[in-house]
């Protein structure tokens, strides 16, 4: 947590006589009051106070890779108005993987045995399928009706696995497990000894 204290007794422009020392503007010890407490979900690593056109703000970097920008003045004092975090490996690799799966699904549905296509349309699709399967040396002649159902079952199983992992929170659980392993004393000792 970050606590913001009120330490100024009076603004210097509100005094009739300027004090000899800036320290004379401060509140006497023991009379300070907490103005604001900023709570964070993980350990704070670094902070920076900046001034912009709307007043002061504090930027806080946390141990989990998140960055928070807090407003420090005005009626919305203590509000987070910007938040950024590092992408997890799942968030980096999942979109391209889903794009490939979607393309394979469209090809499987569009050029399956149930839909008759002209040979002029089907031939480029066969070549594209060969390129996607990295089948450059030879072409296996298999009846499309023979591989249609296994392919559909595989895609449906993949969709069910994805839905199960999304609804059960499997990525979050795996991430939490990885973080707990990395925060363990044994892992830190191995990293210090250069085994990692």
Report the C-alpha dihedral over residues 71, 76, 78, 82, rounded to 10 degrees.
Answer: -50
Burial 109-129 (b: 16+ CB within 10 A, else e): eebbeeeeeeeeeeeeeeeeb
| Among 49, 75, 76, residue whose Cα is nearest residue 60 | 49
CA distance linking residue 152 with residue 105, whole number of Å: 8
CA distance linking residue 165 with residue 78, whole number of Å: 36
Average confidence score pLDDT of the chain: 75
pLDDT in tens, 47-90: 888 887 778 888 888 888 888 888 888 777 878 788 888 888 88
pLDDT in tens, 140-167: 677 777 788 888 899 999 999 999 988 8
Whether the pTM exceeds 0.75: the reply is no
Stronger pLDDT, 14 or 140, i.e. the higher one: 140
CA distance linking residue 139 with residue 150, whole number of Å: 19
């Amino acid at each position: 947590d970050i606590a913001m204290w009120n330490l100024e007794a009076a603004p210097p422009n509100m005094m009739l006589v300027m004090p000899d020392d800036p320290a004379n503007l401060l509140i006497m010890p023991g009379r300070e009051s907490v103005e604001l407490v900023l709570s964070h979900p993980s350990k704070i690593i670094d902070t920076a106070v900046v001034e912009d056109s709307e007043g002061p703000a504090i930027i806080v970097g946390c141990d989990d890779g998140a960055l928070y920008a807090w407003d420090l003045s005005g009626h919305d004092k203590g509000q987070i108005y910007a938040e950024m975090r590092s992408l997890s490996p799942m968030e980096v690799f999942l979109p391209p993987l889903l794009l490939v799966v979607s393309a394979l699904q469209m090809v499987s549905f569009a050029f399956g045995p149930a839909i008759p296509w002209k040979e002029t349309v089907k031939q480029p699709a066969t070549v594209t399928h060969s390129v996607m399967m990295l089948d450059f040396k030879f072409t296996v002649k298999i009846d499309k009706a023979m591989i249609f159902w296994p392919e559909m079952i595989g895609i449906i199983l993949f969709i069910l696995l994805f839905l199960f992992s999304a609804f059960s929170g499997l990525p979050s659980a795996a991430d939490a497990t990885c973080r707990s392993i990395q925060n363990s004393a044994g892992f830190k000792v191995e990293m210090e000894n250069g085994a990692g």
